Structure 1
Amino acid sequence: MVGTVAVLLGQLLGGLPAAAQPSSLPGSAFPLVLDVDMTPNPVCSGPVHGRVEVYDPAAAKAGDTVEWRVRAGAKQLAGGRLAMTDSVGTAKFRIPFDRVPATETAVQIDARIAASSGDEAPGRYGKVWRDTIRRGCNPVRVASVGDSVVWGQGLDHDQKFPYLTGQALGRETGRGVQHMDYSISGAVLDAPELPAHNDDAACLRRTEKQDPDGDGEMEFGEVTQQMPDVFCQLEKAGAQARAGGYGLDLVVINGCINDLDPFFGIGVGITPGSESLPEAVKRECSGVGAAAENPAKDVPYFSGAKVGYGGRGMRAAIEKAHSLPGHPKVLVADFYYALSRSSSPLPVKRCSVPGVTGKRLASCRGALGKVAERYEQYTQLANAAYRQAATAANHASPDGPYATAGDGLFTVDNAVLSPDSKVWATPVTDPAFPLRTRACPELSATRLQCLSAAVGHPDIAGARQYADSFLLNPSLREWFRLPRQGPRAELKAPKQAQVGSEAPLSVTVDGKAPAAGYRYHWYFGDGTQQETDKAAVTHTYDHQGPWLPRLVMTGRDGKKVLVETPRALIAD
């Protein structure tokens, strides 16, 4: 997602607050460790070969040398000096096998400006990059592809939900994890003519400024850009797996919000082709119903709809992901509530940005009151499309089900400015803001939009909720042979319910009420939830579905089990 930036700042708040202006650049984070690769990790035998990338445009301009180090607690595993001849400097290191911890151990990598003379003190160490290292022979290999939600806009490397999900799988299976991230903020699901005629292999011949080392993983994924699209990202993941001689176990994927245009399309519906959200979601998320010519190709404002209109939908992306080496399982990350009617008061000021004038401006202002409602509608429609895509891919699979739409169990109260918000509400408090202050002016054509891009994205608690919820997913637990956390329960809901009338929901175990002592957290599928100590509730849906109720049962021992209905409930 290019960012609900557009929703709250660039278009709604009328620009960046003073604290976010380029004149206020945090310096304590630099030199900033941009990326660290350790291969293999976990390591079965032999050394770990590593590469550290340090980012510091000011140091490069001054011709400074930086000192970097890799530590496990107080023990230094590697280190060295690096002359900064460019904004990004790269150094390689080697950790002998006998120095690699036998079990998972946290490592910290950081850098500082080296002293230029004997009587000068070195600078302070910059921001720490955190990861883990261990011995092991068969790690869970996870690749993530998608837009800014999967990228984790505003978060540090070790706070993002694909990383956290992989770490949890590695620990619960005892195998450790190797995570590769090909996502980038702003990516569209499919740009039909980039490369021409959906020639995904041509993506491998294209270089991106957000990928300075050319390995396909976007070190500057924080800087918004619509390409490489998700299909190109999958192509890069496959190429790297083949080159490394390994198979993938899991692909975490999302996409299609940028194809619709997050603000002018979803929010206010003035981007051509976005007026009807059901039709737009069907076209962009499901890949059905595109016109022969893109009606949004000439809109005079920043919009992913210019390149992402039409094209392949999520089912095709799921099937391509499963075709990668290892035939991995596929986890589609359902969308969260970035904005909702609980986001009150909504700080709407204006729609004016370059290119929005005349009738477009009048239409935009007239639609502002419905922004939150349209975002709720998009969330529900997109998640239904993801579930349908996963189901269709599974039904067509000759080797059994392999895809699931994983729900982060978000509600409308988790949206920006809501009572229990789990998304960034300002553009200057997230961990990645120091990186954006340097990288956006250097790499982005839309600097202000890039600087404020974290707003409306899951914060640290939101990313953790995604990962924790994914680890409850019944399909994921079965695929990775994780132990059951609770009874085999059945969630019962009517096939249909009337809008405005109570719908009964209940849970049973072996046809009977569950044993005493459980807490029940009901997620009704419409963005609302309720916690009870009863195994049955009623819920009134206030608008049409379909809705997919879910339930989390928590036992006295604190263990949780997620129970899903086998089909969506139709409210009409």
Structure 2
Amino acid sequence: MRALPAALAAVVISGSTPAVAAVSPDHPLILDVDVTAACGQPSTGRVTVFNPANKNVEWRVRQNGAVITGTGPDFTLPGTGEFLVDAREPGRAYGKVWRDEVSGGCDPVRVVSVGDSVVWNQGVDQHQKFPRLTAELLGDATGRGFAHRDHSISGAVLDAPDLPCPGSYTQDPDGDGEMELGEVTAQMPDVFCQLEKAASQETDLVIINGCINDMDPLLGIPLGITPGTEDVPTAVRRECGGVGAAPTNPAANVPYFSGAKVGYGGRGMREAIEKAHSLPGRPKVLVVDFYYALSRASFVPRWFCTDRGFSVQNEQLCLQNIGRAPQRFEQFTRESAEAYRLAVAEANAASADGPFAVVGDGLFTLDNAAFAANRKVWQLPNEDEQFSLRQEACPRYSATALQCLTAAIAHPDTAGSRQYAENFLRNQQLRQWFGLSSNTTPLEVVRDGDTVTLRAPAGSEFRWYFGDGGSAAGGREVTHTYTTSGPHLPRVVVDGRLHEARDSVRVKSGI
């Protein structure tokens, strides 16, 4: 995903550009630290440095009071646990710290992540990205420790068979198949190609998403300008579900940069889920639901349109776009969640070795969106943790430098990242697969028109999530009336464990 809030999207359409404040980057920057843990032996590692000035670089590794320095890429860790890596030009101060850890266990939970900028967790430092946090929490809960490999990249589409899947990419400077420069918006590799890159090692869990860039989150989802995105549910069924695609891509010739131009291969999330399960080790698959990038709880001020010197026509277009974008983003979040749920159900039903996939939800609410009261996403172009890297990397490696610089906007921030990971670990099916305490009893749903009565399994503390962006604390039984059409999947967290309804609820009222 590379979505911007609708206000900024309207600015881009009208030909103006948002101001991006200059931030002095710390160079050189650590792009990646790959560590190979050997049971009972010292762990070896390799440092990848972003060094645009092409000057001499020295790095240091700090762990448990020990300090290792060097200029080549390889090092050996003195122990286990957390370690810090930073780099500098000789004689200057060290730059930004890279944090990581090496597990002391001999059977770590091996996690791979693939997808677009949502799974890449745009703008968040590596040690706080939710796929890594999920691996870490699983490793802690099981006592096994963890190992995480990330093949996701900003701007990736789900399925683009016309894009090449070569052995290396500019965004992969060390050639290991992971996109160390994943902050740079690009349309390659697609998710299926990423899964091919992940096939070199055995895996226990694949964290995956896809299809939002196939619909164009800048001009398609919020505005319906990109051909084929006029009706959100239809576009989701085509791009996320992989069904109903016309012989010709309606967005093939749009005169602007868009994933919809190439993301039209016909394979949907079910095929991606099944391909993930086919990796060595026959891993389980966690499909990541989207959050609310923008919602009706967002406050998008009119001065985004009225105080910028627009022509009357462009000012009205801007105001119109602001008005329709929140509802369309909400609709996409609900419809894509349903498409994922159906893809998981179909893949599990067809599996020869039992259910292996589950949908993971961050339990985000409408007020977690951009410009809302309790936002959990980046709102400004330069407030995220990776802006200094994009400031240098985007002009070098991106064909759309402005979009690239602002690409973290409306993506989960550090608090949103942790919310994703912590709620994934509440999922009963995921817990069961990894030998953790679980209770997969679904919540009961009794429907009366647009109103549902929900009853949870027994417990002492209940937090309800109704699937429409609303949430409430309550008792074991609650009643809720829907004002949007759905689909809505009710959920409840009982004493820290997640329970879901068996099926989603659709109603006639609302959008």
Instruction: State TM-score, norm by structure 1.
Output: 0.84
Instruction: Identify the match of residue 463 of structure 2 among 521, 527, 551.
Output: 521
Matching of residue 55 in structure 1 with residue 31 in structure 2: no
Tell me: CA distance 1:347–1:451, structure 2 relative to 1, closer, same or farther (3 Å).
Answer: farther
Shift of 1:220: 0.2
Query: Cα deviations across residues 469-521 of structure 1 (Å, max 9, x unaligned)?
Result: 0000011000001124xx77551112x4423xx32112243xxxx4xxx2211
Superposed, which structure 2 residues align to 1:160-179 within 5 Å?
Answer: 160-179=129-148
Percent same amino acid at aligned positions?
A: 53
Indicate the residue corresponding to 1:180 in structure 2. Answer: 149
Report the secondary structure of 1:265's partner residue: coil
Indicate the residue corresponding to 1:492 in structure 2. Answer: 444
Q: Is the 8 A contact 1:8 1:455 kept in 2?
A: no
Give me the whole-angstrom Cα distance separating, in 2, the residues matched to 1:347 and 1:441: 31
Shift of 1:344: 1.1
Q: Is the 8 A contact 2:130 2:418 kept in 1?
A: yes
Query: Cα deviations across residues 293-324 of structure 1 (Å, max 9, x unaligned)?
Result: 11111111111101012421000000000000
Q: Is the 8 A contact 1:296 1:309 kept in 2?
A: no
Indicate the residue corresponding to 2:124 in structure 1. Answer: 155
Indicate the residue corresponding to 1:108 in structure 2. Answer: 84
Tell me: CA distance 1:566–1:35, structure 2 relative to 1, closer, same or farther (3 Å).
Answer: same
Give me the whole-angstrom Cα distance separating, in 1, the residues matched to 2:11 and 2:477: 42
Give me the whole-angstrom Cα distance separating, in 2, the residues matched to 1:371 and 1:173: 42
Q: Is the 8 A contact 1:154 1:222 kept in 2?
A: yes
Q: Is the 8 A contact 1:223 1:439 kept in 2?
A: yes
Instruction: Identify the match of residue 506 of structure 1 among 445, 455, 458.
Output: 455
Indicate the residue corresponding to 2:343 in structure 1. Answer: 389
Query: Cα deviations across residues 319-365 of structure 1 (Å, max 9, x unaligned)?
Result: 000000000000000000010010113557469xxxxx9x9998776
Shift of 1:45: 3.4
Give me the whole-angstrom Cα distance separating, in 1, the residues matched to 2:302 and 2:379: 11
Shift of 1:535: 1.3
Q: Is the 8 A contact 1:192 1:311 kept in 2?
A: no
Instruction: Identify the match of residue 566 of structure 1 among 494, 502, 507.
Output: 502
Report the secondary structure of 1:571's partner residue: coil
Instruction: Identify the match of residue 17 of structure 1 among 9, 16, 19.
Output: 19
Indicate the residue corresponding to 1:237 in structure 2. Answer: 198
Give me the whole-angstrom Cα distance separating, in 2, the residues matched to 1:508 and 1:395: 26
Report the secondary structure of 1:47's partner residue: strand
Instruction: Identify the match of residue 531 of structure 1 among 473, 482, 492.
Output: 473
Give me the whole-angstrom Cα distance separating, in 2, the residues matched to 1:234 and 1:134: 25
Query: Cα deviations across residues 145-187 of structure 1 (Å, max 9, x unaligned)?
Result: 0000000100110110000000011111111111000000000
Matching of residue 432 in structure 1 with residue 389 in structure 2: no
Give me the whole-angstrom Cα distance separating, in 1, the residues matched to 2:119 and 2:367: 21
Indicate the residue corresponding to 1:94 in structure 2. Answer: 76
Instruction: Identify the match of residue 187 of structure 2 among 222, 226, 249.
Output: 226
Q: Is the 8 A contact 1:12 1:348 kept in 2?
A: no
Tell me: CA distance 1:489–1:329, structure 2 relative to 1, closer, same or farther (3 Å).
Answer: closer
Shift of 1:265: 0.8
Give me the whole-angstrom Cα distance separating, in 1, the residues matched to 2:227 and 2:139: 45
Indicate the residue corresponding to 2:4 in structure 1. Answer: 4
Report the secondary structure of 2:328's partner residue: helix
Superposed, which structure 2 residues align to 1:62-81 within 5 Å?
Answer: 64-76=55-67, 78-81=68-71
Matching of residue 208 in structure 1 with residue 169 in structure 2: yes
Tell me: CA distance 1:283–1:317, structure 2 relative to 1, closer, same or farther (3 Å).
Answer: same
Superposed, which structure 2 residues align to 1:283-302 within 5 Å?
Answer: 283-302=238-257
Superposed, which structure 2 residues align to 1:118-137 within 5 Å?
Answer: 122-137=91-106
Shift of 1:70: 1.0
Q: Is the 8 A contact 2:10 2:318 kept in 1?
A: no
Shift of 1:30: 2.1
Indicate the residue corresponding to 1:547 in structure 2. Answer: 488
Report the secondary structure of 1:522's partner residue: strand
Indicate the residue corresponding to 1:447 in structure 2. Answer: 401
Indicate the residue corresponding to 1:88 in structure 2. Answer: none
Q: What amino acid does structure 2 have at the position aligned with 1:26? A: S
Give me the whole-angstrom Cα distance separating, in 2, the residues matched to 1:522 and 1:281: 26
Structure 2 residue ranges without an equivalent (≥5): none
Matching of residue 139 in structure 1 with residue 108 in structure 2: yes
Give me the whole-angstrom Cα distance separating, in 2, the residues matched to 1:266 and 1:497: 32
Give me the whole-angstrom Cα distance separating, in 1, the residues matched to 2:417 and 2:391: 23
Q: What amino acid does structure 2 have at the position aligned with 1:47? A: P
Q: What amino acid does structure 1 have at the position aligned with 2:75? A: F
Q: Which has the larger radius of gyration?
A: 1
Q: Is the 8 A contact 1:12 1:347 kept in 2?
A: no
Instruction: Identify the match of residue 27 of structure 2 among 14, 26, 30.
Output: 30
Indicate the residue corresponding to 1:557 in structure 2. Answer: none
Tell me: CA distance 1:361–1:278, structure 2 relative to 1, closer, same or farther (3 Å).
Answer: farther
Superposed, which structure 2 residues align to 1:259-298 within 5 Å?
Answer: 259-298=214-253
Give aligned pairs, total: 501
RMSD over aligned CA atoms reads 2.2
Give me the whole-angstrom Cα distance separating, in 1, the residues matched to 2:302 and 2:35: 44
Q: What amino acid does structure 2 have at the position aligned with 1:427? A: P
Q: What amino acid does structure 2 have at the position aligned with 1:399? A: D
Tell me: CA distance 1:282–1:10, structure 2 relative to 1, closer, same or farther (3 Å).
Answer: closer
Superposed, which structure 2 residues align to 1:304-453 within 5 Å?
Answer: 304-346=259-301, 349=304, 366-453=320-407
Q: Is the 8 A contact 2:20 2:381 kept in 1?
A: no
Shift of 1:111: 1.0
Shift of 1:73: 3.6
Shift of 1:48: 1.9
Give me the whole-angstrom Cα distance separating, in 2, the residues matched to 1:18 and 1:563: 43
Q: What amino acid does structure 1 have at the position aligned with 2:300? A: P
Superposed, which structure 2 residues align to 1:238-253 within 5 Å?
Answer: 238=199, 240-241=200-201, 247-253=202-208
Tell me: CA distance 1:413–1:69, structure 2 relative to 1, closer, same or farther (3 Å).
Answer: same
Shift of 1:366: 4.2
Shift of 1:15: 2.2
Q: What amino acid does structure 2 have at the position aligned with 1:217? A: E
Q: What amino acid does structure 1 have at the position aligned with 2:79? A: V
Report the secondary structure of 1:308's partner residue: coil
Q: Is the 8 A contact 1:493 1:569 kept in 2?
A: no
Shift of 1:17: 2.1
Give me the whole-angstrom Cα distance separating, in 1, the residues matched to 2:302 and 2:483: 25
Give me the whole-angstrom Cα distance separating, in 2, the residues matched to 1:503 and 1:483: 29
Structure 1 residue ranges without an equivalent (≥5): 83-90, 115-121, 196-202, 242-246, 352-356, 555-559
Give me the whole-angstrom Cα distance separating, in 1, the residues matched to 2:280 and 2:316: 51
Q: Is the 8 A contact 2:115 2:158 kept in 1?
A: yes
